[in-house]
Chain A
Amino acid sequence: MFVKIVNALSVWAIPLMIVGFVGYGLVKKVKVYECFTEGAKEGFNTAVRIIPFLVAILCAIGVFRASGAMAMLTKVLSPITNLVGMPGEVLPMALMRPLSGSGARGVMTELVATHGPQSLIGRMAAIMNGSTDTTFYVLAVYFGSVQIRKTRHALPAGLLADLAGLLAAAWVTRLFFG
Chain B
Amino acid sequence: MINYIWAAMLIIGFIAGAASGNLEAVTKAAIDNAASAVELSLGLIGVMSLWLGLMKIAEESGIVEKLAKALRPVTVRLFPDVPAEHPAMGAMIMNLAANVLGLGDAATPLGLKAMQELQKLNRIKDTATDAMCMFLAINTSSVTLISATTVAVLAAAGSANPTEIIGPTIIATTVSTTVGIIAAKLLSKLPRFRVKVDSPEQQEA
Q: Which residues of A contact B (CB under 8 A)?
A: 2-3, 6-7, 9-10, 13-14, 17-18, 20-22, 24-25, 27-28, 30, 32, 35-44, 46-48, 50-51, 54-69, 72, 98, 105, 108-109, 112-113, 116-118, 122-123, 126-135, 138-139, 141-143, 145-158, 160-166, 168-169, 172-173, 175-177
Report the bound CA distance from A57 to B190 in whole Å.
Answer: 26
Q: Which 9 A-B pairs have the closest CB atoms?
A: A39-B56, A165-B176, A43-B49, A161-B180, A62-B33, A130-B147, A117-B159, A63-B13, A164-B179
- Which of B16, B56, B166 is close to A72, meaning CB atoms less than 8 Å apart? B16
Write the chain A residue with the least CB distance to B28: A66
* A36 near B57: Cβ-Cβ < 8 Å: yes
* A135 near B9: Cβ-Cβ < 8 Å: no
* A112 near B103: Cβ-Cβ < 8 Å: no
> Given A38-B56, A153-B193, do A68 and B29 touch, yes or no (CB 8 Å)?
no
Report the bound CA distance from A17 to B50 in whole Å.
Answer: 12
* A64 near B146: Cβ-Cβ < 8 Å: no
Write the chain A residue with the least CB distance to B112: A145
* A145 near B150: Cβ-Cβ < 8 Å: no
Write the chain B residue with the least CB distance to A50: B41
**A175: B residues at CB distance < 8 A:** 168
Q: A13-B103, A112-B154, A145-B112 are in contact. List 18 more A-B contacts (CB 8 A).
A: A24-B63, A41-B49, A46-B52, A69-B12, A116-B157, A122-B157, A126-B165, A130-B144, A131-B169, A132-B140, A139-B2, A141-B108, A153-B133, A153-B193, A155-B5, A165-B142, A165-B173, A165-B179
